[in-house]
Amino acid sequence: MVDAAVRPSTTPDPRESATAPRIDVARLNDALMGTWGDVRRQAREMIKDSAFWRKDELGKDDHRERVLSQLHLLVDNKAVHRAFPKRFGGEENNGGNIAGFEELVAADPSLQIKSGVQWGLFGSAILQLGTKEHHDRWLPGVMDLSIPGAFAMTEIGHGSDVAAVGTTATYDPETEEFVIHTPFRGAVKEYLGNAALHGIAATVFAQLITNGVNHGVHCFYVPLRGEDGVDLPGIGREDDGLKGGLNGIDNGRLSFDQVRIPRTNLLNRYGDVAADGTYSSAIDSPGRRFFTMLGTLVQGRVSLDGAASWASALGLHIAITYATQRRQFDGADGQEVVLMDYGKHQRRLLPRLATTYAQIFAHDEFLQKFDGVFSGRTDTPDDREDLETLAAALKPLSTWHALDTLQEAREACGGAGFMFENRLVGLRADLDIYVTFEGDNNVLLQLVGKRLLTDYAKQFQGKDAAALARYAVGMTAGKVFHGAGLRQLGQAVTDFGQVARSVERGLREEQQHDLLAGRVQQMVADIATRLRAAGKDKALGARLFNENQAELIEAARAHGELLQWEAFTDAVHAMDDAETKKVMTWLRDLFGLQLIEKHLAWHLIHGRLSTQRAAAVSSYIDRLCARLRPYALDLVDAFGYEPEHVRAPIASGAEKQRQDEARAYYADLEASGQAPVLEKTLKRQKR
């Protein structure tokens, strides 16, 4: 936390005014910590121990061993057992498990992701895809780390397209074994945590073939090493070596040369093979079976959304704290100005702060949905589909935002931000991979776009030919959502002598929602109309889909932004402290209006905003930034990070001490009468 004494600024502190609202930082922190705030606080208290911190001076090999030792510390602290069954010492607390896991990003992202590999992927595959026999046999070892394992899904030739993996698992009824095989180089399992060194087993996704029939991708438990610590026959293992980040994780490749495993090593919750090779499944459709199996592993995307959001919060805590202490260039009063008082600096950091708040609030709603499904309280096919769509919509936005925010925060701190000790470059490097693992972001958004098209098409189910004809003739697709026609928001608002004031009154909550929702709806409707021309012509359909793919992904992104805006608004409505609520409404407005500003061209082209109103949006954003400037430190203090979590010298108060020392030096020099006269002062005196 930054003390009030560390708040140098030429902007008046709002707390010095009797009329200005004040933020209740503690209550705002409660809101941000969310449903599982108690678990988050437990995790943060645990990682105050320096044994969990990243040591920047370590090379790759030492970093890997340190992270492995940290995993054992997590076991000792019972920090990784929350999601597992109570009969094994777990808590069956799925939401709390993810919340605690996300907090590890502040200690070392390598620790977070390696623990995610062990317990969130490898262990979860056994838990979610296996049955009681598998749980009894392997989960205790997974939980206590006596069975470190890899999650072998991704292949060199197939990343996001899991259904097309090349690894095969062919059943041999003579021996009642599956033969796991890598038939070509592109089928090598790649980028796997725990694969290069530490893993002694893997959950391997392969095409299940029995009696000459391929039943699609299933998951198998495959031992990699014997008790002597030597790799078993047929196991090929390669080290990925140095990466762009996360070098505390031993990522590597696995290949299989006719590796035999018992029939019972098939994780058979959704599909089984009898001793004679007969395949059976309670889910008749191969496609639905595949997506059901993959859906059980959605927690990776859930946790990345939260971890990326909190990494953004940490970066902004560092950059904004520094910006309220670092001074540069003389101001009107003759004193150097703190960076945060410059309009451009506010524009760089405060909209990103607003977005981070939106993401954290959206993530808590997302996490509640996840916990409901995985606890069984709301586990229906529709709920699972909604959860998967939410994951695919939110994970891309938060991970992209983290990279953008950490980069901007680095630049906003100048050379100090480039120093590794100040965390920003290390966080940026480690989080780089978040945008492509657990699903490439663009591929995920395409899944969301397809879901939006499906939901749109449901409007026309059961309609007769005449009704569809009336739709097709003389109507724009947007009118399906907007009825009699499109409104130009803000046009009915009286101009109070100032366009910016009119925008403020005319683009409040209801109008922001109309603009954000209307954009999603019309984009989906327009794409659906263009795709409908293909009819049953598959070739034409594929061509039209490809032509509209970029716009579909943009519509999905807009949908995710709308979800975040709605979650932020829900959080504001739930606040019972009036003054905090007022400031948070400004921050929510900043988030909404910067989304509108980003897509002003679209809103103008489609008649949603007049030219005059559109031109005033940016100036109103500037006004919001200036209004929020005095609250910048309170807003980052509300994240709840303590010095042991931040560990960045430029956010420690050291910069303020340097600035105070410099100003005291010049003040004493001036008072002594020994201060040298500036040349330009002499020249002015001679005139």
Instruction: Give the strand pairing for 177-181 and 336-338.
Output: unpaired
pLDDT number for residue 301? 93
The pLDDT tens digits of the residues spanning 553-567 come to 999 999 999 999 999
pLDDT at 477: 33
Over range 347-373, report the average pLDDT.
96
Angstrom distance (rounded) from CA 270 to CA 530:
38
More confident residue, 237 or 378: 237
**What per-residue confidence (pLDDT) applies to 297?**
80
**Residue % of the chain over a pLDDT of 90:** 76
Distance CA 63, CA 172 (A): 42
Looking at residue 467, its pLDDT comes to 57
685 has a pLDDT exceeding 90: no
The confidence score (pLDDT) of residue 13 equals: 56
Distance CA 20, CA 32 (A): 23
* Edge-to-edge strands, sheet with 189-192: 189-192, 252-256, 235-239
Range name among 15-29, 171-185, 296-310 with the lowest pLDDT average: 15-29
Spatial contact of 258 and 264, defined as CB atoms under 8 Å apart: no
pLDDT tens for residues 480-501? 333 322 233 333 323 333 444 4
> Between 595 and 473, whose confidence is greater?
595
**Is the pLDDT confidence value at 466 over 50?**
yes
* Overall residue count recorded for the chain in this entry: 687
Please give the share of the chain, as a percent, with pLDDT higher than 70: 91
More confident residue, 465 or 73: 73
DSSP string across 201-222? EEEEEEEEEETTEEEEEEEEEE
Enter the DSSP assignment of 119: I
For CA atoms 633, 639, 644, 649, the dihedral sign is negative
Residue 476's alpha-carbon distances to 481, 525, 533, 548, in angstroms, are: 10, 9, 15, 17
Q: What is the pLDDT of residue 472?
A: 44
Backbone φ/ψ region at 233: left (φ over 0), alpha (ψ -120 to 50), beta? beta
Q: Is the pLDDT of residue 683 over 90?
A: no
Per-residue pLDDT, 160: 79
CB atoms within 10 A of CB 461: 6
Per-residue confidence at 159, pLDDT binned at 50, 70, 90? confident
Higher pLDDT, 649 or 611: 649
Q: State the pLDDT at residue 686.
A: 77
pLDDT at 515: 93
pLDDT over 70 at 81, yes or no: yes
Cα-based torsion angle of the residue sequence 304, 308, 311, 312 in order, rounded to the nearest 10 degrees:
-170
Q: Stretch 576-604: mean pLDDT, rounded? A: 96
Which residue in the list 438, 504, 554, 561 is annotated as catalytic?
Answer: 438
User: Tokens 């059976």 label which residue?
Assistant: 280
Q: Among this protein's residues, is 561 annotated catalytic?
A: no
**Residue 465: band (very low, low, confident or very high) from pLDDT cuts 50, 70, 90:** low
> In this structure, what token pair is assigned to residue 67?
């992270």
Report how far residue 54's alpha carbon sits from residue 107's, in angstroms, rounded to the nearest whole number. Answer: 6
Beta bridge partners of 237: 254
Phi-psi label, residue 483: left if phi above 0, alpha if psi -120 to 50, beta otherwise? left
pLDDT band of residue 333 (cuts 50, 70, 90) is confident
Read off the pLDDT band of 328 (50, 70, 90).
confident
∠110-442-253 over CA atoms, to 5°?
45
Q: Determine which of 136-150, 199-213, 271-285, 524-538 has the lowest per-residue pLDDT on average.
A: 524-538
pLDDT at residue 680 is higher than 90 = no
Q: Answer whether residue 505 shows pLDDT above 60.
A: no
Dihedral sign computed on CA atoms, order 190, 193, 195, 197? positive
Average pLDDT across the chain, whole number: 90
With beta carbons less than 8 A apart as the criterion, state whether 220 and 267 touch: yes
Of 681, 85, 638, 45, the closest CA to residue 360 belongs to 638
Residue 678 confidence class, pLDDT cut points 50, 70, 90: confident
What is the amino acid identity at position 234? G
Give mean pLDDT, residues 252-277: 98
Q: Which domains does the chain have, with CATH numbers?
A: 1-33+298-676 (1.20.140.10), 152-294 (2.40.110.10)
Confidence of residue 550 (pLDDT cuts 50, 70, 90): very high
pTM across the whole model: 0.91
pLDDT tier, 291 (very low <50, low <70, confident <90, very high otherwise): confident
pLDDT of residue 462: 66
Name the DSSP letter for residue 341. Answer: G
pLDDT bin (cut points 50, 70, 90) of residue 18 is low
